[in-house]
Homo-oligomer: A and B are copies of this chain.
Amino acid sequence: MSYFSFELIHTSKRSRARLGRIHTPHGIIDTPNFVAVGTNGTLKALDNVLVNNLGLQLMFANTYHLLVHPGVETVKAAGGLHQFINRPYPIITDSGGFQVFSLAYGTVKEELKSKGMKRHTEAVLKISEEGVLFRSYRDGSPLLLTPESSIQAQKSLGADIIIPFDELPPYHIDPAKLTASLHRTHRWEERSLIEHMKNPQNQAIYAVIHGGINQALRTQSCSILSNLPFDGFAIGGSLGKNRQEMIDMLTYTVPLLPSGAPNHLLGIGDLESVDACIRLGIDTFDSSHPTRCARHGLLFVTSMSGTGHVKILQTKYKNYHEPIDSMCECYTCIHYTAAYIHHLFKAKEMTGLALASLHNLHFMIKLMKNYQRAILEDKV
């Protein structure tokens, strides 16, 4: 399909890391790459023109949130999500499934902290073969999310890459239930694909590989979904309770994906995981981690020993009248000192959150360029 294609440019001789290029109707995504999350159609504290100018090649937006507000009809009337949010570059939307099932089961993180399962009866009204009926957190009105309605919503939003509706089972689930959930997810993904193919609308659709941390199920999921005409493959579901479980899962899962298609790891973006998953052959990964860290005053820096963190609220920065990172060329580091950013955080000024977010986003974009170069040179 001419509107969407993947070029595999080089695979490292040192690892499974690969350099590629995804072509979309709104431009190129060099891979491996970081996908920043703009839940409501904006990165928190930054505006899209600024983000566009920073060079972010792919932005993630959440269908669930946009369904609840402003509603897909408003976005469609604006001419689609690119127009509505003023982003002329590639966008990927999810199906809404993740948020709906987080409401039902809690996130894996909440579950591991025993905080899950509390909101089920309030927010999620019914889960059936058809889909999920839930209450809008905004006004309490009932919303039905099915494979078909999710795809239709994503058609109205008009992102370059869309994602089929899937079930996100909890981490603690017995194998029989996980298997049943996996099969329903496969049925839902096929229904999503069929709905999509009625009107491809120059959008690409990525399957979501499930199976938790069960190798047999992940294998089965790769086998079933890669036999369907998806344009790419996202790895979703439970990625394990820690980084090692995720790495183990990716080690056996990524090689089962078609090498000619792009892949995506859902919801991962901490620097250690990024480094590991790039070496395992992941092309793109989305996460709000870098911008969330920024808002908590955790700023990414490059030091002699690699990458590190500056905790800008620490007293030692009160009189540090130098940039956060003297090597950094971002707007924040060019124009402001660590002492000033420290002051803005102490004074609880939003400006500090914006400048910190901008710094971490610039860091991620530059880091990805460095990985791309390193792969070409077989250094990763």
Q: A74-B319, A318-B70, A354-B354 are in contact. Are A84 and B339 (CB under 8 A)?
A: yes
Complex contact B335–A70 (CB within 8 A): no
Q: Does A3 contact B (CB under 8 A)?
A: no
Q: A77-B321, A318-B74 are in contact. Are A86 and B335 (CB under 8 A)?
A: yes
Q: A70-B339, A335-B49, A337-B78 are in contact. Are A349 and B42 (CB under 8 A)?
A: yes
Residues from chain B with a CB closer than 8 A to the CB of A74 are 318-319, 339, 343
How far, in angstroms, from A44 to B350 measured CA to CA in the complex? 7
Q: Does A196 contact B (CB under 8 A)?
A: no
Q: When the two chains form the complex, which single residue of B45, B84, B336, B346 contacts A70, counting CB atoms closer than 8 Å?
A: B346
Interface string of A18-62 (1 = CB under 8 A from B): 000000000000000000000011111111110000000000000
Interface string of A317-348 (1 = CB under 8 A from B): 01101000000000100011101101110110
Complex contact A44–B77 (CB within 8 A): no
Q: When the two chains form the complex, which single residue of B40, B321, B336, B355 contacts A344, counting CB atoms closer than 8 Å?
A: B40
Residues from chain B with a CB closer than 8 A to the CB of A354 are 45, 47, 350, 354
Chain B nearest CB: distance from A322 CB in Å? 10
Q: Does A16 contact B (CB under 8 A)?
A: no
Q: A84-B337, A350-B353 are in contact. Are A70 and B40 (CB under 8 A)?
A: no
Q: When the two chains form the complex, which single residue of B46, B47, B70, B349 contacts A343, counting CB atoms closer than 8 Å?
A: B70
Q: Does A217 contact B (CB under 8 A)?
A: no
Complex contact B340–A41 (CB within 8 A): yes
Q: Can you list 17 A-B contacts with CB-CB less than 8 angstroms, sorted by A residue number?
A: A40-B343, A41-B340, A41-B344, A41-B347, A42-B351, A44-B349, A44-B351, A46-B351, A47-B335, A47-B355, A70-B342, A70-B343, A74-B319, A74-B339, A74-B343, A78-B337, A354-B354
